[in-house]
Amino acid sequence: MKMQLAEIAQALEIEPLAGWNEITVTSVSFDSRQIQAGGLFVPLIGENDGHQFIAAAKKNGAVATLWQTDHQAADLDLPVLPVQDSLAALQQLGRYYLQKINPRVVAITGSNGKTTTKDMTAAILATQFHVKKTPENFNNEIGVPMTCLTMEPNTEVLVVELGMDRFGQLDALSKLVEPDVAVITMIGEAHIEFFGTRDKIADAKMEITHGLKEDGYFIYNGDEPLLVQRAKDGIRPQVTFGNEPHNQLAATEIVGHAATTDFKVNCYPEINFTIPMLGTYNVNNALAALSVGQVFRIDPARMAQALADLTITKNRAEWVTGAQGEKILSDVYNSNPTAVKKVLEAFSGVETTGKRIVVLGDMLELGEQAGKIHADVAPAIDPEKISSVYLCGELMASLAIALESKFPSSALHHYAVDEKAQLTADLQAEINADDLVMIKGSHGIALEKVLDSLISD
């Protein structure tokens, strides 16, 4: 981005001061450590109050800062834009810049698969357009406007991931970005602690349509009755995808391999599609992306090539090699019941001359039924296919109990969250070069530390 400070002030409904036309802002940051020369600093209030770091931001190159008016005035020797709420101002500025660049917007949400679908969609659209996509997991009230503010002036399509953990969140984010296309990948049990039922999760996910432009497309998983039911309210036009033949885009001839998955699509029968990912469940994510490509009239052959050449977000069903030569399926970005069962199914089918070893961490935000939901994963862990199981976290105690009748004590291990070092040591003692290891858990359990040790040691 590149704007004069005076323009930013006007966007925030602040009267610009003399000289602000001569101050050029080239970036925005809420982290004083990441501010760059020419940056605007946004002091957010969370665990720490960002106002405490304005001096550090100035030292690192900030040319101006926001300042909440409920804070005592200070002599900052830096142009100050007074706002009532710095987060609301960040969102207002993000929306202003989005409208200024005026790309078409594809917004994606879902209990599972939204990041993978985002990556696939961006790759497909990039064959014909200048595309900006959500970096990493910048999918909340802070990340979405930051994504908008990092667009290049030539951006033609913005592919933005929208996350949620409460009612009203997607409503606000959808109205911020006003999508031309809204996508729901699926309804699972993620965040059921906050919503109670899948019906309520579906209601919350449908909020992504609240900001959808009048002529915008609604794309959703047509195999999900909760979405089909809610889509009957007249949201048009619509595109459905899924495994069932009634969908406008339906997958056929799905064949899974260790690191790739092949499939065909009913409306493109002559084309063979391949995604460089383990797991037939990822085909639905590809179908969602293909649906977006169809709306944008991308040539099917180009879409197939884009999927084949896909680079996915790190630690999303990603194969890496451990220090002992073992192959590790890294899926430590996040975890929920639907996802862990699907990944276990895919992992259990991968051919190997060695052992298959599973490492699972707690799945968070599952509410009062968390213990039962963890125990319900047990049928997906087949001792005929999985040699050893390593569990980490308090909630995984329920799964450990459920597995006691299936695995001998020598093959079933359970650790507290602060015992990851011991988990890693025991795991390393078992692993051989020809083994396969799967690691999956909620981000808060930090199983990436186990992964890093396996790779580096």
Which pLDDT does position 112 carry in this prediction? Answer: 84
- Tell me whether residue 279 is annotated as binding: no
**Is there a domain that residue 97 lies in?**
no
Which pLDDT does position 151 carry in this prediction? Answer: 97
Q: Which two tokens stand for residue 55?
A: 């001096």
The number of domains in the chain is 3
Could you tell me the CATH number of the domain that includes residue 331? 3.90.190.20
Which pLDDT does position 455 carry in this prediction? Answer: 93
Integer Cα distance of 448 and 425 in angstroms:
15
Judge if 22 and 153 occupy the same domain.
no
Which pLDDT does position 215 carry in this prediction? Answer: 93
- Tell me whether residue 197 is annotated as binding: no
Judge if 271 and 397 occupy the same domain.
no
**Is there a domain that residue 400 lies in?**
yes
Integer Cα distance of 133 and 258 in angstroms:
28
Which pLDDT does position 316 carry in this prediction? Answer: 72
CA dist list (Å): 270 to 90, 324, 354: 47, 43, 38
- Tell me whether residue 112 is annotated as binding: yes
Judge if 70 and 150 occupy the same domain.
no
What are the 10-residue block averages of pLDDT along the chain, 457 residues in total?
A: 97 96 97 96 95 96 97 91 98 98 97 91 98 93 98 97 94 98 90 80 95 96 96 86 97 91 96 92 96 98 97 78 94 85 92 96 88 95 97 97 97 97 96 96 92 88
Range of the domain at 75: 3-92
Query: Which residues have C-beta within 8 Å of that of residue 102, sequence separation ≥ 6?
Result: none
> Any idea which residue has 């957010």 for tokens?
44
At 146, give phi and psi (nearest 5°).
-65, -40
Judge if 291 and 323 occupy the same domain.
no
Judge if 386 and 418 occupy the same domain.
yes
**Is there a domain that residue 98 lies in?**
no
The domain boundary, picked from 268, 285, 308, lies at 308
Which pLDDT does position 191 carry in this prediction? Answer: 66
Judge if 142 and 243 occupy the same domain.
yes
Judge if 113 and 84 occupy the same domain.
no
Which pLDDT does position 457 carry in this prediction? Answer: 62
- Tell me whether residue 147 is annotated as binding: no
- Tell me whether residue 114 is annotated as binding: yes
Judge if 136 and 52 occupy the same domain.
no
Judge if 135 and 112 occupy the same domain.
yes
